[in-house]
Amino acid sequence: MILWPILLLLVGTAADDKLGFYAFSVRDIHGDIVSLDKYKGKVSLVVNVASFCGYTDDHYEKLAKLQDILGPTGKFNVLAFPCNQFGQQEPGSSEAILKFAQRKKANFPIFEKVDVTGPNSSDAWSFLINSSQTKPNWNFWKYLVDHEGHIVEVWAPWDDLFEQYDTIKGVVDKAVAADGGKDRGGEL
C-alpha cells in the first residue's frame, strides 16, 4: 500500500519533467488563470519586466521587435512577468502596468505581477531558477525556453538582446523544424 503514493508521485514528476516550464499555470494581467501548456511547441523568452527601470525603454522596444520578427513563425512568444522586487520599480496595479505596456507597444502576453525570487516566488519562476541555476537579481532577466519547456539560455539585463538574436532564432528554427513547418519569421 505504501508504494502506491510513491508511484503516483513518480508519475506526476515525470509528467512535469516532460512539460518543463510549460507544466505550470499562472495568472495573466487580467487575473485569469493561464496554463503555460498553451505555449508548448513554441519558444518562449520569459522576462521579469518593470515600468520604472533604467532598462525599461530599451528592453520593451527590443522585446516588441523580437515579437514582430519571430512571432509570425507561430513558434515564438515573449512572456512578460511584471515584478516589483528589484528597486520597487513596478509598483502599479495590473491596470496601470497594462496601460504602461500598451504605451510601450508591447505586443506580447503580459502576466500578473509576481515575485520571481524568494519564498513567495511563483512556481514557474522557481522552475526557471532551479533549472538554470541562475537567479535574477534585477529587472529584465531573460530566460530562453525551448519548445519542449527546457531552459536553453539565460541573459542578464545588461546583455544586449539583439546580440542574442542568432541564438534565439536558432532555437526557434529547431521548433519550426520539429513541427515540420516552414519558418515565416524575418531578419533583425
**Catalytic positions:** 53
Q: Please state the φ and ψ torsions of residue 49, each to the nearest 5 degrees.
A: -105, 160
How many CB atoms within 10 Å of residue 61?
13
Nearest to 107 by CA among 69, 75, 73, 145: 69
Q: Please state the φ and ψ torsions of residue 98, each to the nearest 5 degrees.
A: -65, -45
Q: Please state the φ and ψ torsions of residue 180, each to the nearest 5 degrees.
A: 70, 15
Angle at 17 (CA atoms; ends 167, 77), nearest 5 degrees = 40
